[in-house]
Amino acid sequence: MSFPQPDITPLSAPYWDGLKQGKLLFQQCRACGNRWLPARDACPNCLKREAEWVESAGRGRIVSWVVYHVSYNDAFKDRVPYDVTLVELDEGPRLLSNIVNGDAGRKLSLHAPVALQIEHEGDLALARFKLV
């Protein structure tokens, strides 16, 4: 089974295109400075529609994680157990990801520093992280 594909829209396309170019981008509000992921057309803080895309330095910390021991999609049946980890970038936005060297969650700890590691699944580039 093929890797599940995201629903890429004109709004989210810069995020996915950025990853293909080796950059992790997030949105930043020109009005209030708020920063966020995933893409949305209005600032979740002030609701103005003045977002710009900004490149992350690719550093962050682990906020939370779970370990999947059961595959709910056949595409992942050969990958269990694996982690799904919430990472907070140093710039503030949070995103769900995987830790590539986390030994299926056994090496993860709260606030552990991580660094971006872009990986490819077919034509898709994904923002994953490694413990540093």
Q: In what order do the strands lie in the sheet with 82-89?
A: 94-97, 82-89, 59-68, 113-121, 124-131
Would you say 14 or 105 has its CB closer to Zn ion? 14
Kindly state the smallest distance separating residue 49's Cβ from Zn ion, in Å. 9
- In one-letter notation, the amino acid at residue 40 is R
Would you say 19 or 29 has its CB closer to Zn ion? 29
Would you say 34 or 117 has its CB closer to Zn ion? 34
Cβ atoms 86, 63 nearer than 8 A: yes
Output the DSSP codes for 57-126: -SEEEEEEEEEESS-SSGGGTTT-SEEEEEEEETTS-EEEE-BTTSTTTTT--TT-EEEEEEEEETTEEE
Kindly state the smallest distance separating residue 89's Cβ from Zn ion, in Å. 17
Kindly state the smallest distance separating residue 45's Cβ from Zn ion, in Å. 5
Task: List contacts with Zn ion (CB under 5 A).
Answer: 29, 31-32, 34, 43, 45-46
Kindly state the smallest distance separating residue 46's Cβ from Zn ion, in Å. 3
Closest CA to 87 of 78, 74, 96, 99: 96
Would you say 48 or 69 has its CB closer to Zn ion? 48
